[in-house]
Chain A
Amino acid sequence: MNKKGFIFIETIIVTAVLLASLMLVYSLYVSSLSAETIRIRYDDPVKLYETFYVKKYLESFNLNLLKERIDNGEPYQMIYRGQSDIFGSSYTAEKVFFENLWMELNIRSIILIPYNVSTLVECTSSNTAAICSNSSLLGYLKTLDDGDENSYRLVIEYAMDASGNSCTSNIGCFYYYASVKVGA
C-alpha cells in the first residue's frame, strides 16, 4: 500500500476546518463583547438621573410647544444649545444656564420623540435624517419598546472621552444614551 503523503494531507484538511470554525467562534465572541461595551452605556444610572433632571428643567418652560409639533406630524424635535422658543421670555436669563448645563453634562444632542419609536427607527421617511444618519443613536432607539402612545420620550446623547471630558473627535469617544418618559 502506498501511504506517501496521506497523513500530511489529512492533517492539513483537519487543521483548516478547525481553524475556520475557531475563527468563526472567535469573531462571534469579539463582536458580542464589543456590542456589550456599547450596550453598557445605554441607560446608565448616572445618565438616567441627569436626563431626569434635564427633563424636569425643560418642563419648567414650554416643552408643550415641541409636543404640539410632534402631534402635528413631525417625527421628532431636536433641542439645540441656543434654542430659544421653549424658553420664551425667560431665554435671556436661561441661555447661560442651559449652555453651562450642556457643557457640564457633555451633552451631544437632546431629542423629544413619540413614546412609540417603531415607526421612527424604520427610517422610511426622509425627514428623519438627523436621527437615521446617527448610527449609534439609532442603535439605542432600536432597543426601546413601544408603550404609551399618548406620551413622549426625552432622549439625550452624551459624548465624552475616557477622562470624562468632552470629545474633540470621534476617536476615543464614548457615547452614553438615556431616555425618560415625558407625559402628555
Chain B
Amino acid sequence: MNKKGMTLVEVIISVGLISVVMLFLFNLLLDMQYENSHASYLKENQVNRATIIKTVEEDLMNNTLNEVRIERNESNSIIRFDFTTFVTELTVMADRISYEGETWLLETNGNDEAYYDFENVKVNPEREIESCSYNLNVDSDGDGVCNYNCDTNNNGILDESERSTVNETFKSCSSFKYYKVIVPAITGSEDNIIDDLEFFYIGRTS
C-alpha cells in the first residue's frame, strides 16, 4: 500500500496545535500594540504632572502660605493659594490645568477616558485645625496633687473616667500646620491615585 501523504486526523490536529500557538502570539502582539500606542501620550502626561507639581511646589517652598481656598464653578475649580504677599491661582478644568500663565493639557488618544475630576478637588484639612494635646497632671496650686487633666491611670491619655478633670486652658499646641491639595485625575489605571496631582505644604502657624 502506498503510505505517502498524511491522514486527515493528523492534519486537523496539526492545524489545531498551530492555532493555539498563533492565538498566544496574537494576544502578545495585541498587548504590545496597546502598550506602544499608549506609551507616548502617557509619558507626556507623566512629564506634565511632574512639571505642574514642581511649578506649584516651588512657590510653596519659597513662600509662607496662609490659606488655601477652593472656588467651584460649573466648568472648573479654582484653587487659591494665599501667600503672605501675593495670591496664586491653579485653575482645574476637565482637560487642562492652568497656573500663573502656563497651561498643561491632559493628553489622551481619543478612545480612552481621561480627565481631571475638578468637581472633587479638595484640600485637607478642610478648615484650619489645632493640633493640640493636653498637658497631663497639672498641679495649678502647687500642693503636689493633680488639679486638672489628671491621668490617674498613668497611661498617657485622658480616659473617659478622667474627663471630668479636663481644663482646656492647659494644653499645648503644635506650632505647625499642613495643607494637602488633591486634584484627582481619572485615567482608568488600576491605581486610581497614581496620576492624581497633590500639593503638600508644612509651615508655621501664624
Q: Which A residues lie at the B interface, using CB under 8 A?
A: 1-8, 11-12, 15, 18-19, 22, 25-26, 29, 40-41, 44-46, 49-50, 52-54, 56-57, 60, 92-97, 100-101, 104-105, 160, 162-164, 174
B10 touches A5 (CB 8 A): yes
- A49 adjacent to B57 (CB under 8 Å): yes
Contacts of B5 in A (CB 8 A): 3
25 CB < 8 A contacts A-B: A7-B10, A7-B11, A8-B13, A15-B17, A22-B21, A45-B49, A45-B50, A49-B53, A49-B57, A49-B200, A50-B198, A53-B202, A56-B202, A92-B133, A92-B136, A93-B172, A94-B176, A97-B174, A97-B176, A101-B202, A104-B180, A162-B191, A163-B192, A164-B182, A174-B194
Top 7 closest pairs, chain A to chain B, by CB: A97-B131, A97-B174, A93-B172, A11-B14, A8-B10, A96-B131, A164-B193
Question: How far is A15 from B172 in the complex, measured between Cα atoms in Å?
Answer: 75
Q: B201 in the interface, Cβ–Cβ < 8 Å?
A: yes
**Are A45's CB and B190's CB within 8 A?**
no
**Given contacts A26-B28, A104-B180, A8 and B6 within 8 Å (CB-CB):** yes
Q: How far is the CA of A141 from the CA of B145 in the complex (A)?
A: 51
A41 to B17, CA, bound (A): 41
Q: Which residues of B contact A18 (CB under 8 A)?
A: 21
Given the interface contacts A11-B17, A45-B49, does A174 sit within 8 Å of B25 by beta carbon? Answer: no
Chain A binding surface, main DSSP class? helix
- With A15-B17, A46-B200, A96-B132 in contact, is A164–B6 under 8 Å at CB? no
Q: Any chain A CB within 8 A of the CB of B4?
A: yes
Q: 4 other contacts beyond A45-B54, A53-B201, with CB at 8 A cut-off?
A: A8-B10, A8-B13, A45-B53, A94-B176
Alpha-carbon gap, A53 to B31, bound state (A): 40
Contacts of A50 in B (CB 8 A): 198, 200
Separation of A92 and B170 alpha carbons in the complex (Å): 11
Q: Is B3 an interface residue (CB 8 A)?
A: yes
Query: Which residues does chain A contribute within 8 Å of B87, judged by CB atoms?
Result: none
Indicate with 1 or 0, residue by residue over B18-62, a CB within 8 angstroms of chain A CB atoms: 101100110010011000000000000000011001100100010
A25 to B28, CA, bound (A): 10
Contact with A along B137-179 (1 / 0, CB 8 A): 0000000000000000000000000000000000011111010
Q: In the assembled complex, which residues on chain A have CB atoms less than 8 Å from the CB atom of B53?
A: 45-46, 49
Complex contacts, B95 vs chain A, CB 8 Å: none
Residues in B with CB closer than 8 Å to A100 are 129, 131, 178
CB of B117 closer than 8 Å to a CB of A: no
| B133 lies within 8 A of A53 (CB) | no
B200 neighbours in A (Cβ, 8 Å): 46, 49-50, 53, 105
Residues of A within 8 A of B57 (CB): 49
Q: Is the CB of A163 within 8 A of B194?
A: no
Closest residue of A by beta carbon distance from B21: A18
Does B193 lie within 8 Å of A162, measured CB to CB? yes
